[in-house]
Amino acid sequence: MILDVKGVTKVFGDGGKSRNMANDHLTFRIHEGEIFGLLGQNGAGKTTLVNQILGLSTPDRGDIDLLGESVIQSPARARSICSVQPQSQVPIGLLTPKQAVSLMGKMRAGNNFDPKRVGALFDALNMQEWANTPGEKLSGGAQRLTSFCMAVIAPGNLVILDEPTNDVDPVRRRYLWQVIRDLTNDGTSVILVTHNVLEAERTVDRVAIMHEGKFLAQGSPSEIKRSVSNHMRMELSLACEPADIEIPGCALSAHQNGSRLLFSMDPANVPPAIDWAKDQIDRGLIMDYSLSPTTIEDAYIALTSGKAVG
C-alpha cells in the first residue's frame, strides 16, 4: 500500500461560528500502480487534503501513512516521496521547457537522472516544437504540459496531479493520459485532483466524490454509477434556448449544463425518446443527441445535489 488516510479531519476558524470543516473524517487507501481520483467542485476540500498528504498542513484529527510511516511525524519525508503538479501554473521565466524539466529531473534524481527521458516525454506529448521556447512566450497549454513534465520527469512513489489538463488541447490530453497510465504500469501511484467529471470516468481506477469536506461515495466508476441508478441518459446539444424545449414525458430528471441538456429515463423508454430527439432535430431545436448508460457525471450531480438520478 502506498497511502493510508485514516479519519483525517481539518477545521479552519477560531472555534466560533466561523468554523469551516474543510475535511470531515476522510478515510481511504491507495495501492501501488493505482490512479485515484479526487472529484469535487472548488471549495470541496480537495486541496486541503492534498496539503496534508504532503505534510504542508497537519490534520486536527486522524493520521496519514505514506509507505508505512506517518506523514505527521515525518512531513519532509512525505515531500521527498511525492511529486506534485499544482493547479496554478509553474512560472519558469526565461527558461525553456527543456531546461526547466531537465533542471527538475537533476534536482530529484541527482546522478541517476537520465537526460533521454526529457526527449521521450516531449515526444510522447508531441511538444518538441516548444522544447526550446522561452517560458514567457509559451501558450497556457504548453505551460501546463511543461508543468506536468516537471512533475513526472523523476516521479516519486506517489504523483499528485491537480487539474493536469487545464488549457491542454484535446489531442495532447489523450497523449497525457497515456503517459500517466505508463507511469502506473511501472508501479507509480497517482492522485488525480479534478472537477472534470468526464475525464475522471475514463481515467481513474477508483474515485472519491467529495463535497463540503466529506466523501459522498468512493469506489470504481462502475460501482459508484450502480449505486445511484441503472437508468439510461440522453444528452442533447441545443440549437435554441432551453425554455423552447419541451422535455418528453419519459424523462425522469433533467439537468442543463451550458448548451447541453441531459435527462435520464427507464431503459424501456429508449425507443420513444429517440423518436422525440429525431423530431427535435427536424424542427431545428437540437443539433444532435447521444444515448448512454448512467455516467459518473450523473452520479456526481445526484450525490452533490441530494437528488436521485431519475
- Among residues 208, 225, 242, the one where a domain terminates is 225
Q: How many domains does the chain have?
A: 2
Q: Are residues 244 and 214 in the same domain?
A: no
Q: Are residues 216 and 259 in the same domain?
A: no
What is the Cα–Cα distance from 130 to 110, expressed in whole angstroms? 25
Q: Are residues 104 and 183 in the same domain?
A: yes
Q: Are residues 106 and 183 in the same domain?
A: yes
- Beta bridge pairs of residue 53: none
Coil, strand, or helix at residue 2?
coil
What is the Cα–Cα distance from 189 to 182, expressed in whole angstroms? 11
What is the Cα–Cα distance from 157 to 130, expressed in whole angstroms? 28
Q: Are residues 198 and 130 in the same domain?
A: yes
Contact of 101 with 153, CB cutoff 8 Å: yes
pLDDT of residue 254: 83
Q: Are residues 95 and 25 in the same domain?
A: yes
What is the Cα–Cα distance from 127 to 72, expressed in whole angstroms? 39
Q: Are residues 45 and 140 in the same domain?
A: yes
Q: List the pLDDT tens digit at each of the 310 positions of the chain.
A: 999 999 999 999 866 666 789 999 999 999 999 999 999 988 899 999 999 999 999 999 999 999 999 999 999 999 999 999 998 888 899 999 999 999 999 999 999 999 999 999 999 999 999 999 999 999 999 999 999 999 999 999 999 999 999 999 999 999 999 999 999 998 999 999 988 777 778 889 999 999 999 999 999 988 888 877 778 889 999 998 888 888 888 888 788 888 889 888 888 999 999 999 999 999 999 999 999 887 888 788 878 876 444 4
Print burial letters for 77-88: b (CB count within 10 Å at least 16), e (below 16).
ebbebbbbbebe
Coil, strand, or helix at residue 226?
helix
Q: Which residue's C-alpha cell is 497517482?
A: 190
Range of the domain at 199: 3-225
Q: Are residues 106 and 251 in the same domain?
A: no
What is the Cα–Cα distance from 4 to 30, expressed in whole angstroms? 7
In a domain, 260, yes or no: yes
Pairing of β 20-30 and β 158-162: unpaired
The pTM for the full model equals: 0.83
The number of beta carbons lying within 10 Å of the beta carbon of residue 223 is: 13
Q: Which residue's C-alpha cell is 527543456?
A: 98
CATH code for the domain of 188: 3.40.50.300
Coil, strand, or helix at residue 39?
strand
CATH code for the domain of 288: 3.30.70.250
Q: Are residues 135 and 23 in the same domain?
A: yes
Q: Are residues 179 and 199 in the same domain?
A: yes
In a domain, 304, yes or no: no
> Which of these, 239, 224, 243, lies nearest to 295 by C-alpha position?
224
pLDDT of residue 308: 45
In a domain, 27, yes or no: yes
Q: Are residues 249 and 163 in the same domain?
A: no
